[in-house]
């Protein structure tokens, strides 16, 4: 069936969470938000595009940092209220310069940093 971004389920702010996963390593890189137009732009351009809640603007990942995400596969979940984008990630995904935003683990009741920023 043809895909229409308006058939996804958005929250009260018109947003849907999008999980970015490295298509090669399988690492979960980050989670951010898209609106219907960001979904459409991501599919049209192949450049993963989020909606920045803090800036209230489209956020073409890597446009300023160079750490872009090229779309490899676009998936939606059974409830149509969450997205999974498989990406080809250039450089670190996290603004802290780490490969993934999920670099902190909770182990034995304490926080453990799993990786240092790339240099």
Q: Which residues bind a copy of itself (CB under 8 A)?
A: 1-3, 17, 19, 21, 25-28, 30-31, 43, 73-79, 82, 84, 94-96, 98, 101-107, 109-111, 114
Tell me the three state secondary structure of residue 29.
Answer: strand
| Strands 83-89 and 110-113, bridge-based pairing | unpaired
Is 79 annotated in some ligand binding site? yes
Is 81 annotated in some ligand binding site? yes
Centre a 10 Å sphere on the Cβ of residue 17 and count the other Cβ atoms it contains.
Answer: 14
Annotated binding site for Mg(2+): which residue ranges? 77, 79, 81
Residue set of the binding site for Zn(2+): 78, 94, 101
């Amino acid at each position: 069936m043809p895909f229409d971004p308006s058939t996804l389920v958005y929250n009260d702010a018109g947003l849907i969470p999008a999980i970015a996963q490295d298509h090669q390593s399988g690492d979960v890189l980050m989670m951010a938000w898209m609106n219907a137009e960001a979904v459409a732009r991501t599919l049209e351009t192949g450049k993963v595009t989020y909606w920045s809640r803090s800036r209230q603007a489209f956020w073409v990942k890597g446009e300023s940092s160079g750490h872009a995400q090229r779309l490899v596969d676009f998936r939606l979940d059974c409830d149509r209220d969450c997205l999974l984008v498989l990406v080809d990630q250039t450089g670190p995904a996290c603004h802290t310069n780490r490969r993934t935003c999920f670099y902190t683990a909770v182990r034995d009741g304490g926080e453990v940093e799993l990786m240092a920023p790339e240099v």
